[in-house]
Amino acid sequence: VTARIVPDRAELARLLAAERSAGRVVVLANGCFDLIHVGHVRYLEGARREGDVLVVAINSDASVRRNKGTSRPLQPEDERAEILAAFACVDYVTVFDEPTADDLLRALRPDVHAKGTDWRAEDVPEARTVREIGARVAIVGDRKTHSSTDLARRAAGSE
């Protein structure tokens, strides 16, 4: 059984409302997930342990290009979504196009917003929105010794 890919935000909000009314704790994780590596996997596993249902929001191709430059993403959003949906710890996958996860948090109203260890809870850009919706921030995953940018650089250099 793989996760559901739900591009429609209103539909996903309805599905998550149903999960919450069944007593399940909903966790939101977000990121580009371009070239999945073990650092991503540990972040996702850590996020899932914060609750019962893990939603992963991936940056759209346009937003990855804006954040990381025109040479990224290396994998288009539909492929990134399909790969994420194949992980046992992931329940729902969606795509977001905004620069931050604020709108997503307001629409989906998770109980926990999971961020990687490159963040400190007090510096998370969406901290205010997280408080506003009554959620909490969880810092999860291992210390960042892996990144897709380094991986791509290593791949490019090791010819």
Partner 1 sequence: VRYLAAARREGDVLVVGLNSDASVRRLKGEGRPVNGEADRAEVLASLASVDFVTVFDEDTPFELIRAVQPDVLVKGEDWAEKGVVGREIVEARGGRVVLAPLVPGKSTTSLLGRIRGQEP
Provide the binding-site residues for partner 1, judged by CB under 8 A.
1-2, 35-38, 41-42, 44-45, 71, 74-75, 79, 82-83, 86-89, 146, 151-156, 158-159
Q: How far is the CB of 92 from partner 1 (least distance, A)?
A: 14
CA distance 30 to 56: 5
In the block, which residue shows the tokens 């329940």? 91
Q: How far is the CB of 105 from partner 1 (least distance, A)?
A: 25
**Parallel, antiparallel, or unpaired for β 112-115 and 92-96?**
unpaired
Nearer to partner 1 among residue 35 and residue 95 (C-beta):
35
Of 24, 5, 7, which is closest to residue 107 (Cα–Cα)? 7
Nearer to partner 1 among residue 13 and residue 89 (C-beta):
89
Nearer to partner 1 among residue 43 and residue 96 (C-beta):
43
Q: How far is the CB of 127 from partner 1 (least distance, A)?
A: 29
CA distance 112 to 137: 6
Length of the chain: 159
Of 81, 89, 136, 85, which is closest to residue 110 (Cα–Cα)? 136
Nearer to partner 1 among residue 76 and residue 125 (C-beta):
76
